Structure 1
């Protein structure tokens, strides 16, 4: 069956969850550091399911590299790819802070080790680092009401050979937005070196480069009816391509898992997912609640409060 039919026929919402105001696709407007500097340019995407997160961080398009074989990149271009960030991880909410565990990441070390102190007003979600190192301004991206799907990838295999292609990762669909993470098939021996250093050592060794970059985080826009097209990715060749096939899904009730069988590059493949959530419809409102007194104040002072307001995403 296709993914739309799956979510309609087998709705499955977990008993635990982050708050509803945290669900959906957020893009970062700014990060301000304790040193007084602010970055508003880096493209940062956060997609949140009930109990796991997908995150993608890329330079501006003009500073990215074109799609070509890894062996054809210069050392400087390989370092640009090595500084891409993409990951998924379980998320844990304690009522004030969000923390993460059990991650699948392109990077070989944790670049963002602090939990997130979070609060949201309207479409603006503010994140404070407990250390005081930075504060981030996130904006919920608009979407009509639509599905919330969270599937964590257990593994992907070649059905003919049984070869393991990817281990770890996940798929999140939130209305008109979606993201996919495909982890490396196995751990990378890195001797404590980060990805940049590993890539620098692997220049001229195609097999090592392929192993280091055998990972994907992609964000896409579209729908379950028409499909999703990749808009941003750690893999340049994926931009503009379909995020994933939307057919070939089956619901494994006894295991509480989802299986997908599909063809890629002439090979029959199978993905096995654990279920975080399968919800046919969820609203993604740009607004949040506020008290009656605050509403009365806003209406009373609207002549000045609304003087220059606009919707920012």
Structure 2
């Protein structure tokens, strides 16, 4: 079955199970990052997709020509500290062999803008919610089975659908990922010939915006292709599987349902006081004359 057929068989998640603030759910584009030294980057391609318990992240300096060893992408468990209002991530397997964003984050939402501050004041990131309404789905990949020899191995990954936008992540096979355990940088591993470029690039994070066509990916050869949304199965125990190719061979991928809402209203406005509403209405001729939604 395809993804739409699968969705028709899933039961909606009780939103009371979602400990994250709802303004964090969805798909976000980074508009900018500003550093403590006064520098600002408005050009690096960065996307963040958020489900109930996990995050997908993709970062590319160039849409098609980021060097293989410089690409960034990861999937991680999302940890929300309600008492301190801190968001952090536990990343077991990343495209890079090191954790490049070690600090937790404090967050402040204004409209469709989500500001992420590092506690050390090293940087602030300006994220924009891209999703409006539609299905919100999170599927967490936890293992794969080789269809030829039946071998089962643990894998990390997942699929998040947020309205009209979709992201998919899939870690490297364990025997490839283990090679990188003693390296801090991918170029070091490549220079020592312990891993090749195809094995490095086998860590996938792909993003499809406004359609099923992949627009950005750690696997640049897939840009422009349709993101794979067929060959799903749902068994009597509620286990979701999908047949996918990994290194040219067929595998059955196993997913756990993390979150499903058939029609979710993504948060694009924030609360404020009655006085602020009055102020904006009173001063709108000046304040709103050149204002527009920026995503």
- Normalising by the residue count of structure 1, what TM-score does the alignment of the two structures yield? 0.84
Between the aligned partners of 2:234 and 2:43, the Cα distance in structure 1 is: 41
User: How far apart in 2 are the matches of 1:266 and 1:89?
Assistant: 26
Question: 5+ residue gaps in structure 2?
Answer: none
The one of 227, 234, 255 aligned to 1:243: 227
Q: Tell me, what secondary structure is at the counterpart of 1:180? A: strand
User: Which secondary structure does the structure 2 equivalent of 1:56 belong to?
Assistant: strand
Question: 1:194 — aligned with what?
Answer: 185
**Does the residue aligned with 1:91 lie in a helix, a strand or coil?**
strand
Give the distance between the partners of 1:265 and 1:129, measured in 2 at CA.
Answer: 38
* 2:17 is equivalent to residue 8 of structure 1: no
- Distance between the aligned counterparts of 1:178 and 1:214, measured in 2? 19
2:269 is matched with which residue? 287
Tell me the equivalent position of 1:278.
260
1:269 to 221, 230, 251: 251
d(CA) in 1 for partners of 2:167 and 2:150? 26
CA RMSD of aligned residues (A): 2.3
* Whole-Å separation in 1 of the counterparts to 2:253 and 2:47: 24
Give SS of 1:168's match: strand
Q: Does 1:123 align with 2:107?
A: no
Secondary structure of residue in 2 paired with 1:44: strand
What SS does structure 2 have at the residue aligned with 1:260?
A: strand
1:69 aligns with: none
Among 35, 57, 70, the alignment partner of 1:83 is 70
Runs of 4+ aligned structure 1 residues displaced above 6 Å come to 263-266
1:196 shift after superposition: 2.4
Q: CA deviation at 1:50?
A: 1.3
**Shift in CA distance, 167/289, structure 1 to aligned 2, threshold 3 Å:** same
Partners of 1:58 and 1:263 in 2: CA distance = 24
Q: 1:164 to 1:212 in 2, by over 3 A?
A: farther
Q: Give the deviation of 1:209 after TM superposition.
A: 3.4
User: Structure 1 residues 139 and 178 mapped into 2: Cα distance closer, same or farther (>3 Å)?
Assistant: same
| Cα distance in structure 2, aligned partners of 1:240 and 1:2 | 20
Q: CA deviation at 1:150?
A: 0.6
User: CA separation in 2, counterparts of 1:169 and 1:51?
Assistant: 12
| Deviation per residue, 1:24-57 (Å, 9 max, x gap) | 1111111000001111110000011111110000
Q: What does residue 74 of structure 1 align with?
A: none
Q: Where in structure 1 are there 5+ consecutive unaligned residues?
A: 66-79
User: Do residues 61 (structure 1) and 52 (structure 2) align?
Assistant: no
8 Å CA contact retained: 1:257, 1:272:
yes
Q: How do 1:1-313 and structure 2 match up within 5 A?
A: 1-13=1-13, 15-61=17-63, 64=65, 80-95=67-82, 96-143=85-132, 145-163=133-151, 167-186=155-174, 187-190=177-180, 191-202=182-193, 208-222=196-210, 228-244=212-228, 246-252=229-235, 254=237, 256-261=238-243, 268-313=250-295
Alpha-carbon deviations, 1:252-272, whole Å to 9, x = none?
453x53112357898543110
